Amino acid sequence: MDDREFRKSLRIDVTVLEVWIEQGWLVPHMTHEGRAFRDADIARGRLILDLIDTMGVNEAGVDVVMELLDQVHGLRGTLHDLVDVIQAQSPDLQYRLLAEIEDTTRRR
Amino acid sequence: MSGDPYQLLGVKRDAAQKDIQSAYRKLAKKLHPDLNPGNKQAEEKFKEVSAAYAILGDEEQRARFDRGEIDAGGGEKAQQRQYYRDYAGSEGRGGPYQNSSGFADFGGADDIFSSFFSRRGQGSAQMKGQDRRFSMEVDFLDAINGTKTQVTLPNGPSLDVQIPPGTADGQTLRLRGKGDPGINGGPAGDALIDIKVRPHKFYVRDGDDIRFDLPISLREAVLGGKVRVPTPSGAVAITLSPNSNTGKVMRLKGKGVPKRGGEHGDAYVTLKIVLPDAADAELTAFVNSWAAGEKQEPRTSMGG
């Protein structure tokens, strides 16, 4: 969707959208027709609105939240991959890996 | 929603509006599904708390609830909503929001793990680099005839800039790929150069045409003949007819600004008679005895 549709569905005005993009909270795709937004951007926009309106978080706070949230999702994704791969191994190897992990955790 | 909204928000029945808001904010921060990406129950609880706040957060609704006019379900909005966490799983793989700094220190520099952990970081999220804007001044004739020049960018390198013939004041040149580097191997941005053309001593640009005054001597004006005229693309000779007056405009076809497609605008010269710098006795004597000169009334058109 384009700028206008995006702003309409979130009920925000142009200056708000520009701030979000400038801050890097939103990264629209660039197309020949200009900026384009996806459903994920809408969901992200709702979150930003929740942070500001519902939770009373200020701009600096939103900045921190979005940065950490993206890191969390990065970590979750990688951890997912790791777990998926371990689950695809033989039960024997899975057991050994988990035992090693527990061992390491205990030693720390 | 079934529970008592006051209980759900953990406030007393006589709590001030302000306390209700702050209780809700606290809970929202704890329960917002996007701040609990792995917790499936968070969404349900967040919905309950939001529905409770929809009643208690609004003084009027709250009063109606207290009088028993609406029940706890009154604030419930059957709102089906996708949270960002529902997209984030796939966003992390090559999306613009991927962020692998959470494990930047995992694995050694060249072991196989480092590539595993940074894999997400090198996804396909290629982005064009930012455009950068500059401005530069160009001499009038360089802008008309085109030139090659260099501009040193504030961030370091100097760029060869081709000023195309016919460049106008205020025009923006785009140098592809000379802006900020792209992200993840994406194409670099462009350098945008705003051109400011310095004014010329006597040429004035008028669209694709050039206008200027051409000084001629009294002799050339009276007798006519060939005179040399400088133009931006070199001198040309024009022939003045006898008795050519000041203010007469002559067109020099194709001697103006180069246009796209190889054509040129025209040059328009306005004749301007110039007397000798110092008074000349012979000329003074002649004009003094020149009967027709006395009868000429050049200002009749001005009235009075």
- With CA atoms as reference, the chain A residue closest to B23 would be A55
Shared-domain flag, residues B42 and B101? no
Does B98 fall in a domain?
A: yes
B51 vs B37: CA distance, rounded Å? 21
Q: Are B173 and B261 in contact (CB under 8 A)?
A: no
Q: Could you say which of B122, B143, B167 is where a domain stops?
A: B122
Question: How many structural domains does chain B have?
Answer: 4
Choosing among A29, A70, A83, which should be mutated to test the B contact, i.e. which has the most B CBs within 10 A?
Answer: A70
Q: Could you say which of B85, B113, B148 is where a domain stops?
A: B85
φ/ψ (deg, to 5) at B206: -135, 90
CATH number of the CATH domain containing B157: 2.60.260.20
- Out of B28, B91, B96, the one facing A73 most closely (by C-beta) is B91
Q: Which range of residues forms the domain containing residue B180?
A: 132-197
Query: Cβ neighbours of residue B268 under 8 Å, at least 6 residues apart?
Result: B206, B209, B210, B211, B212, B249, B250, B251, B252
3-state secondary structure B44-104: HHHHHHHHHHHHHCCHHHHHHHHCCCCCHHHHCCCCCCCCCHHHHHHHCCCCCCCCCHHHC
Chain A CB contacts of B28 under 8 Å are: 50, 54-55
Shared-domain flag, residues B193 and B210? no
- Out of B28, B96, B103, the one facing A54 most closely (by C-beta) is B28
Choosing among A31, A73, A76, A104, which should be mutated to test the B contact, i.e. which has the most B CBs within 10 A?
Answer: A73
Nearest-neighbour CA in chain A from B45: distance (Å): 15
The answer to whether the CB atoms of B117 and A78 lie below 8 A apart is yes
φ/ψ (deg, to 5) at B47: -60, -45
Nearest CA to B72 out of B99, B47, B40, B43 is that of: B47
B141 vs B147: CA distance, rounded Å? 9
Q: Are B107 and B77 in contact (CB under 8 A)?
A: no
Choosing among A23, A38, A50, which should be mutated to test the B contact, i.e. which has the most B CBs within 10 A?
Answer: A50
Shared-domain flag, residues B113 and B170? no
Shared-domain flag, residues B228 and B262? yes
| Structural tokens at position B244 | 């050519």
Nearest CA to A72 out of B102, B107, B87, B105 is that of: B102
Q: Could you say which of B179, B197, B215 is where a domain stops?
A: B197
Nearest-neighbour CA in chain B from A91: distance (Å): 23
The distance from CA B281 to its chain's CA centroid, rounded to whole angstroms, is 63
Does B299 fall in a domain?
A: no
Shared-domain flag, residues B99 and B163? no
**Which residues, in sequence order, are bridge partners of residue B150?**
B160
Nearest CA to B136 out of B169, B166, B164 is that of: B169
The answer to whether the CB atoms of B103 and A54 lie below 8 A apart is no
The answer to whether the CB atoms of A74 and B81 lie below 8 A apart is no
The answer to whether the CB atoms of B87 and A39 lie below 8 A apart is yes
CATH number of the CATH domain containing B14: 1.10.287.110
φ/ψ (deg, to 5) at B16: -70, 155
Model-level pTM?
0.52
Per-residue pLDDT of chain B (304 residues; tens, 9 = 90+): 457 899 999 999 989 999 999 999 999 999 999 999 888 888 888 988 988 998 999 888 899 888 888 877 765 554 567 888 888 877 656 677 877 777 767 765 555 666 666 654 444 456 778 888 888 899 999 999 999 988 876 666 787 888 999 999 999 988 888 888 877 677 788 888 899 999 999 999 999 999 999 999 999 999 999 999 999 989 999 999 999 999 999 999 999 999 888 899 999 999 999 999 999 999 999 999 998 888 888 888 888 6
Chain A CB contacts of B100 under 8 Å are: 74, 78
Instruction: Name the percent of chain B in helix, strand, coil, to the closest 5.
Output: 35, 20, 45
Does B291 fall in a domain?
A: no
Shared-domain flag, residues B19 and B71? yes
